[in-house]
């Protein structure tokens, strides 16, 4: 059975997830950051795209500052062309890492905790094939943290079971990236329909929890 997929992101009050330059900026309150680490700790794997790795260099670890007994969820990078730097924070020894590619690339001196898998036919990594791969690895709960094109690819495939959006109390303006990028819906009928399942104030922002409309 495919994993239960939760998408989690934070956006400004005007719907941006980064500055117009696409440089990451802190949007979440400290209370929301603590929530995200607890959420990571409840999942078997955490996924980001190569764009997030190259722009932000996240470690995707669960920090003991926020979780008393942190686990080591599998870290997954969607990286169709194998561009993840060997010294990226996501390849550190703190947890295992899986780099999902869509084509074979020259052998790299990856750390021992890093594994690569080739899925697809050279284009983008197909989300259904990825989920089948994770099912085979007994991954039951997957947390998708971005970026915007990766989030859209899961939404487009109707592969999202829960969508968490934290709305921070700031306005970034400009034409910065939004939570869901990619090509977007061609018609209104193609939109991913949601229902608001819960709301919660966290610090000076609010968490919106959505589930797919049945």
Token readout for 3 is 């994993």
Q: Which residues of the chain are modeled with pLDDT < 70?
A: none
The total number of structural domains in the chain stands at 1
pLDDT tens digits, 34-69: 999 999 999 999 999 999 999 999 999 999 999 999
φ, ψ of residue 13 to 5 degrees: the values are -65, -20
C-alpha closest to that of 166 among 141, 212, 200, 193: 200
Q: Which pLDDT score is estimated for 104?
A: 82
Give the range of the structural domain holding residue 28, as residue numbers without chain letter. 4-212
CATH at residue 153: 3.40.430.10
Q: Which residues of 104-140 are buried (b: 16+ CB within 10 A; e: fewer)?
A: eeeeeeeeeebebebbbeeebbbbeebbebbeeeebe
How far is residue 123's CA from residue 103's CA, in Å, rounded to a whole number? 8
The Cα 73–Cα 95 span in angstroms is: 7
Q: Would you state the pLDDT for residue 20?
A: 87
Rounded to whole angstroms, the Cα distance separating 78 from 99 reads 6
Q: Give the model's pLDDT for residue 23.
A: 78
Per DSSP, which regions of 106-150 are E strands?
A: 114-118, 141-146
Chain centre distance of CA 206: 19
pLDDT digits (tens, 9 = 90+) for 106-125: 777 889 999 999 998 878 99
User: What's the confidence (pLDDT) of residue 24?
Assistant: 78
User: pTM score, two decimals?
Assistant: 0.95
Distances (CA, A) of 120 to 124, 133, 135, 151: 7, 12, 16, 18
Nearest to 22 by CA among 176, 182, 178: 176
**What whole-number distance in Å separates Cα of residue 124 and Cα of residue 82?**
11
Which pLDDT score is estimated for 154?
97
Residue 188 DSSP symbol:
G
Kindly state the tokens that stand for 2. Answer: 């495919």
CA distance 151 to 28: 18
């Amino acid at each position: 059975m495919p994993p239960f997929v939760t998408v989690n992101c934070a956006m400004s009050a005007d719907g941006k997830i980064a500055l117009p330059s696409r440089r990451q900026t802190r949007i979440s309150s400290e209370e929301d950051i603590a929530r995200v680490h607890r959420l990571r700790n409840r999942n078997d794997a955490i996924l980001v795209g190569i764009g997030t790795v190259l722009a932000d260099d996240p470690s995707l670890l669960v920090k003991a500052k926020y979780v008393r007994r942190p686990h080591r969820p599998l870290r997954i990078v969607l990286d169709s062309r194998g561009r993840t730097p060997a010294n990226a924070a996501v390849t550190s020894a703190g947890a295992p890492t899986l780099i999902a590619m869509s084509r074979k690339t020259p052998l790299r001196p990856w750390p021992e905790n890093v594994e690569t898998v080739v899925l697809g036919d050279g284009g983008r990594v197909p989300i259904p094939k990825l989920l089948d791969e994770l099912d085979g690895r007994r991954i039951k709960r997957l947390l998708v943290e971005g970026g915007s094109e990766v989030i859209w690819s899961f939404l487009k495939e109707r592969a999202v079971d829960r969508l968490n959006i934290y709305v921070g109390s700031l306005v970034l303006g400009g034409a910065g990236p939004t939570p869901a990028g990619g090509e977007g819906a061609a018609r209104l009928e193609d939109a991913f329909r949601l229902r608001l399942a819960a709301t919660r104030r966290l610090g000076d922002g609010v968490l919106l929890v959505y589930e797919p409309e049945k």
